[in-house]
Structure 1
Amino acid sequence: MTHDHDLELRPTPAQTEAALDPPPGRTGGDLVVETLAGLGATTVFGLPGQHALGVFDALRRSDLRYIGLRVENNAGFAADAYGRITGEAAPLLLSTGPGALTSLAALQEARAASAPVLAISSQVPTAGLGGGRHGYLHELPDQAASFRGVVKSVHTVRAASQIPSAIAEAWRSALTAPHGPVWVEIPQDVLLAETLLPVVTGVDATPEEPAPRVELTAVAADWLSRAARPAIIAGGGVVRADAAGKLRQLAEALQAPVVTTFGGKGAFPWRHPLSLQSWLEDRHTTDFLEDADVLLVVGSGLGELSSNYHTFTPRGRVVQIEADLGKLEANHPALGIHADARLALQALLETVRPREDAGAPARVRALLDRVRARIDAQGLDLEQRVLAAVRRALPADAPSFWDMTILAYWAWSAFDAGRPNTMHSAQGAGGLGYGFPAALGAAAADPTRPVLAVSGDGGALYSIAELATARQYDLNVTWLIVDDGGYGILREYMTDAFGQATATELTRPDFVALAESFGVPGVRTTPENLTADLTAALAAPGPSVVVLPAVLRMFAPTHRT
Structure 2
Amino acid sequence: MMHDHDHETPRLTPAQLAAALSPPAGRTGGDLVTETLYGLGATTVFGLPGQHALAVFDALRRSPLAYVGLRVENNAGFAADAYGRTTGEVAPLLLSTGPGALTSLAALQEAAAASAPVLAISGQVPRAGLGGGRHGYLHELRDQQASFRDVVKSVHLVRTASQIPSAIAAAWESALTAPHGPVWVEIPADVLAAPTTLPPVTAVDATPRELVPRPELTAVAAHLLAGAARPVIVAGGGVVRADAAGKLRALAERLAAPVVTTYGGKGAFPWEHPLSLRSWIEDRHTTDFLEDADVLLVVGSGLGELSSNYHTFAPRGRVIQIEADLGKLEANHPALGIHADARAALSALLESEQLEPATPGTAPLGTASRRDPTEAAAAVRAVLAAVEERIAGQHLEPERAILAAVRDALPARAASFWDMTILTYWAWAAWPGPMHSAQGSGGLGYAFPAALGAAAADPGQPVLAVSGDGGAMYSIAELATARQYGLPVTWLIVDDGGYGILREYLTDAYGETMGTDLTGPDFVALAESFGVPAVRTTPESLREDLAKALAAPGPSVVVLPARLRMFAPTHTDTAR
TM-score range, shorter chain: over 0.9
SS at match of 2:83: helix
* Structure 2 equivalent of residue 387 of structure 1: 403
Aligned to 1:547: 559
> Alpha-carbon deviations, 1:335-381, whole Å to 9, x = none?
00000000100111111134322310000000000000000101111
After TM superposition, list the pairs within 5 Å mapping 1:129-168 onto structure 2.
Answer: 129-168=130-169
Moved more, 244-253 or 5-14: 5-14
1:519 to 517, 526, 531: 531
Distance 1:544 1:509, change over 3 A: same
Bigger mean CA offset, 496-505 vs 187-196? 496-505
Q: Tell me the distance in 1 between the aligned counterparts of 2:134 and 2:17.
A: 43
Equivalent in the alignment of 2:460 = 448
Deviations 1:212-246 (A, max 9, x none): 11111111111111100000000000000000000
Tell me whether 1:469 sits opposite 2:481 in the alignment.
yes
What's the offset of the Cα at 1:3?
A: 10
Letter in 2 for 1:538: L
Q: Size of the alignment, in residue pairs?
A: 557
| Paired residues for 1:101-250 under 5 Å | 101-250=102-251
Conservation of the 8 A alpha-carbon contact between 2:10 and 2:203: no
Matched, 1:533 2:545: yes
Rounded to whole Å, the distance in 1 between the matches of 2:117 and 2:457 is: 14
Matched, 1:353 2:368: no
Deviation at 1:56, TM superposition (A): 0.3
1:367 maps to amino acid: V
Task: Give a deviation string over 1:14-43, Cα, whole Å, max 9, x none.
Answer: 543321101011000000000000000000
Amino acid at match of 2:551: A
Alignment of 1:409-424 (within 5 A): 409-417=425-433, 422-424=434-436
CA positional deviation for 1:546: 0.2
The 1-side partners of 2:148 and 2:546 are apart by 39
One-letter code aligned to 1:328: L
Rounded Cα–Cα distance in structure 2 between residues aligned with 1:542 and 1:454: 17
Question: Residue 134 of structure 2 contacts residue 140 of structure 2 at CA under 8 Å; is this kept in 1?
Answer: no
Equivalences for 1:219-368 in 2 at 5 Å? 219-351=220-352, 352-354=355-357, 355-357=370-372, 358-368=374-384
Where 1:60 maps in the other structure, the secondary structure is helix
Q: Supply the distance in 2 between the matched residues of 1:13 and 1:136 (Cα, whole angstroms).
A: 44
- Select 1:430's aligned residue among 437, 442, 458: 442
Structure 1 CA distance for aligned equivalents of residues 234 and 12 of structure 2 = 50
Residue 439 of structure 1 is matched in structure 2 by 451
8 Å CA contact 1:234–1:264 kept in 2: the answer is yes
Do structure 1's residue 377 and structure 2's residue 382 form an aligned pair?
Answer: no
SS state at 2:290 partner: helix
Shift of 1:68: 0.3
Using the size of structure 1 for normalisation, the TM-score is 0.98
The Cα shift of 1:253 comes to: 0.5
CA contact (8 A) 2:528 2:534 kept: yes
- Using the TM superposition, name which of 10-19 and 343-352 deviates more: 10-19
Q: Determine the C-alpha separation between the residues in 2 that align with 1:108 and 1:6.
A: 35
Q: Shift of residue 9 of structure 1?
A: 4.9
Q: 1:231 corresponds to which letter in structure 2?
A: V
The structural deviation recorded for 1:12 is 5.6
Structure 1 residue 496 displacement after superposition = 1.1
Deviation, 1:8, is 3.1
Please tell me the root mean square deviation across aligned C-alpha atoms, in Å: 1.3
Match of 2:572 in 1: 560
TM-superposed deviation, 1:160:
0.2
Distance 1:390 1:133 in 2: 54
Counterpart amino acid of residue 316 in structure 2: R
Q: Counterparts of 1:205 and 1:39 in 2: how far apart (Å)? A: 7
Distance 2:8 2:291 in 1: 58
Q: Shift of residue 324 of structure 1?
A: 0.5
Structure-1 separation of matches of 2:444 and 2:66: 27
Equivalent pair of 2:423/2:564 in contact (CA under 8 Å): yes
CA contact (8 A) 1:329 1:336 kept: yes
Q: Which residue of 1 aligns with 2:506?
A: 494
With over 3 angstroms needed to count, the CA separation of the structure-2 counterparts of 1:24 and 1:551, relative to structure 1, is same
Gaps of 5+ in 2: 358-369
CA displacement 1:89-136 (0-9 Å, x = unmatched): 100000000000000000000000000000000000000001233110
Q: Residue 82 in 1 paired to residue 90 in 2?
A: no
Q: TM-score, normalised by structure 2?
A: 0.95
Could you report, residue by residue, the CA deviation over 1:24-71 in whole angstroms, capped at 9, with x for unpaired residues? 110000000000000000000000000100000001110100000000
Kept after mapping to 2: 8 A contact 1:299/1:341:
yes
Is the contact between residue 400 and residue 439 of structure 1 (CA under 8 Å) also seen in structure 2? yes
